[in-house]
Structures are given as structure tokens and as C-alpha cells.
Amino acid sequence: MSINLNGRIIADTRVTGVTGAKLAGGYLLKLSFEFISPVWSLLDPPTVVFAPAQVVMNGLHGLHLGLAFPELVQPFSVSSHGSTTGAGFDLFMSPAAMEAVEKLRDGQDVSLAISLRGEIRRGGEVHRLYDDFQVKLNVVQWLTALEQCGYGRSILFEVPIPSVPAAAAAAVELLEAARHHFHSGHYPDAVSKCRMVLERLTAELGQDALLKAANDTKKIDRSREHREFAMRQAAMDFASLAHHPTGTPQDELFDRNAAQMMLGTTAALVSSALKRV
């Protein structure tokens, strides 16, 4: 891990850690580098100019995380005195990218392959800079960075939708419509569509009688299935406000938080019901 010019070391390179910061629409991971420049005794000390660095998880052929941008394109100087200089490279991560990293990490340390690129300029000459190396970040370092960038305050997980029987196809299509309304910012419409999903699911699977029986059964006597049907009924009751005027504007009744809760609950209930079909 060193930057060289014609076999002579300009700087030894190492990553000292990672920190996080909140970013609109995603997360910012800051990789901290240290460049240790030895004494340069020759004339015309070189200048190093960095380009963005490629970052890949689990080896050069692993999961590509994107480019880490240097805070300063020339973070250190080579001189007759030698120096040790710290610098940061910023890696921007979307929520989907961070979730992919966490799924692959699976609770373990993080191994990154970093490809530093740039130019080495000396006199009138320009040489390409290549410095490829691996760095391992332990679990404590990584989780601290995630907390700093706000990732730890969200719970992200997949709700798989099993193979859809023909009888339930309409309910799943309505679920996709609800998801589209949510991502479009139409939160009352998303909630309303979620109620339609659950009503259609119940009808398509022929579970109206089971739903009624579950709600008529005393709580102490309810099975796990009874309680799941009760959750389905409670979700439909919650969303029913989207269909009935209350005097309160719909945008006030159902904001993003309410729509997010309803969409997640609906997706989970659909997934669970279809797994038993």
C-alpha cells in the first residue's frame, strides 16, 4: 500500500478508520486515510493529485459500492522534511446500497478493496497513479459509523411475496398500486388502497367466515391464526377512515408515517396469508 514513482516511495498509504454522517436521501461514509511521506532528497519533489477511488466490498470482484471522492485532490505534499498527513474520502450510499451491504456483511467485519487513482506530476512529466489495497473494518468501527449516519435508526428488511395463486392476483396488483401511491407521495390514496388489498385478499381466499370467527372468538381462546386475522381486521379498520369523511382533511389523517405503517403491515399480512395457501 504505497504510492511510487519509478520505484521510489512517495507515500505509504493506510486507512485508519471510517466515520458516518447524515445525508439527504441516503448516508455518507467517510474513509479516513493516512499518507506517510518519507524525506524526498531529490530536486523537483512530485505532486500527487487524486481522482475518486473505487470501493468494492469483499475483494476486487465483490460488491461494487461506488466511488469515494477525496475531500482535497492534493491532500499532502512531498518535501525534504517528510510528513504524515490525514485525509478523508467520501463515499455516498443510498438506502438500497446500504441495505445490500448489511445483507452481505451478515454481522461480520467489513472487508473493502480500494483502488486509489490519480496523477503524479513532477516537472513537466505526468505519471498515472495506481494503488490497490485491502482494508478490514471491524464490527465496532462499522456499527459506530452506521449510527453516526443515522442508519441504525431505521429497520430495513424484505417482505417476500410468495408465488401468487391466480385467485389472489388482484390483491397483489392492488398492493403494487398502493406501493406506487406511497412512493408518489399520495399517502391517503396509499392507505385507501391497502384496505382494498386486504378486503380483496380475504374475498379471493374465501376467508370471510374465518375473519369473522376470529373476531368473535374470545381473546384467551384465540389461536395464532385467529390473532393474525384479528390483525388483518384491525388494519382494515384503521384504513377505513380513508373511505369515510370525518371532517378532517385526508392529508392530516394519513401522513407519510401513517401510510408507511399501513403499507408495511399490509405487505406482511399478504405475505403471511399467501405462504399458507
Domain end call among 92, 123, 152: 152
Q: Which domain holds residue 69?
A: 2-152
Q: Kindly state whether residues 180 and 262 are assigned to the same domain.
A: yes
pLDDT of amino acid 57: 94
**Would you say residue 28 lies in a domain?**
yes
Indicate whether 27 and 135 sit together in one domain.
yes
Strand partners of residue 11: 3
157 in a domain, yes or no?
Answer: no
Q: How confident is the model at residue 151, as a pLDDT?
A: 84
CATH number at residue 22: 2.60.40.10
47 falls within a domain: yes
* pLDDT attached to residue 41: 81
Domain endpoint, select from 152, 174, 197: 152
Identity of residue 9: I
pLDDT of residue 81: 83
State the pLDDT at residue 234.
Answer: 93
**Do both 218 and 265 map to the same domain?**
yes
Domain count, the chain: 2
pLDDT value of residue 8: 86
User: Are 28 and 139 within one domain?
Assistant: yes
E strands in 25-184 = 26-37, 47-50, 53-57, 63-70, 83-93, 110-122, 125-137
- 27 & 104 share domain: yes
For the chain, 277 residues long, give each residue's pLDDT as a single digit of tens: 788 888 888 888 989 999 999 999 899 999 999 998 888 887 888 888 999 999 999 877 889 999 999 998 887 778 788 888 888 999 999 988 988 888 888 778 899 999 999 998 888 889 998 889 899 999 889 989 998 998 876 665 667 777 777 778 899 999 999 988 888 888 889 999 999 999 999 999 999 999 999 888 888 888 999 999 999 999 999 988 766 555 555 666 788 888 989 999 999 999 999 888 7
pTM: 0.58
**Predicted pLDDT of residue 104:** 86
Which residue, chain included where needed, has cell 513537466? 124
What is residue 177's predicted lDDT score, i.e. its pLDDT?
93
pLDDT value of residue 153: 60
Q: How many Å apart are CA 50 and CA 126, to the nearest integer?
A: 13
* Residue 191, domain CATH: 1.20.120.330
Residue 160 lies in a domain: no
For residue 158, tell me if it sits in a domain. no
